[in-house]
Structure 1
């Protein structure tokens, strides 16, 4: 039996949040999806600051790069420099296909870089593949 995992989605586009929720809904395992809409909020969630004092430690982070305020690159850098968070896999899930964004994300130790498909069905498929890979293929550290 595959155990559900805690997933933190850092995404400011309500449409992409909705599609990601739909991809997770009723799909094989009841993974718990937590959503924050900007980089500063993501870091408050990860550091369990108010209002996230009881937030679970995510097993996986899906991170958009283009966020208001503190952008995804800054968030990724802070996560990977923090000893208590660095072990959490971060998948950059973004509309950018720019080579410099891909390179920079890997330089900042992203675990994967996935361009968001614009097609709804393809987006659902991609998110489910990410979910499937991190739930059934790889072994994740406990919180």
Structure 2
């Protein structure tokens, strides 16, 4: 697959954003970043300052977000007929069994606990990019 993938990263941690941007700048994918759940839904619904945003091919979603929690964002995405087909990758610090169960019940496509180790974190981001760019066929 040689096409660019449009990724929406919903993340409030500046260090994580920088690392993900650094890994993905070496690809031909487009990364859009919003820092809370309200912004994420505005982006996806083309509201507020996001009237001309593209539809992302995948969403990388943190659960612990300001203003609107990632769990709520996931729930709203998957209840919306226009958005529910977008794959959502949950990438979060939480390793709570309850969070894992609830996110899969809300149709997350995968759940990844952020590694604390820098090198492991980079490997995870690279593997996400490789899997969704090379192995998966997106609509």
- Structure-2-length-normalised TM-score: 0.97
Aligned to 2:68: 70
Aligned to 1:4: 4
Aligned to 1:19: 19
Matches within 5 A, 1:1-143: 2-26=2-26, 29-141=27-139
Query: Aligned partners of 2:111 and 2:23: how far apart in 1?
Result: 18
Contact 1:22-1:124 at 8 Å conserved across structures? no
Query: Aligned partners of 1:58 and 1:79: how far apart in 2?
Result: 12
Contact 1:8-1:33 at 8 Å conserved across structures? yes
1:50 Cα offset (Å)? 2.2
Query: Aligned partners of 1:21 and 1:118: how far apart in 2?
Result: 18
Query: Aligned partners of 2:117 and 2:22: how far apart in 1?
Result: 14
Q: Deviations over 1:69-97 (max 9, x none)?
A: 21000000000000000000000000001
Q: For residue 52 of structure 2, give the secondary structure of its aligned residue in structure 1.
A: coil
Q: For residue 51 of structure 1, give the secondary structure of its aligned residue in structure 2.
A: helix
1:22 Cα offset (Å)? 1.1
1:122 Cα offset (Å)? 1.1
Q: How many residue pairs were aligned?
A: 139
1:118 Cα offset (Å)? 1.1
Give ranges in structure 1 of 5+ residues lacking alignment.
none
- Structure-1-length-normalised TM-score: 0.95
Q: For residue 68 of structure 2, give the secondary structure of its aligned residue in structure 1.
A: coil
Q: For residue 70 of structure 1, give the secondary structure of its aligned residue in structure 2.
A: coil
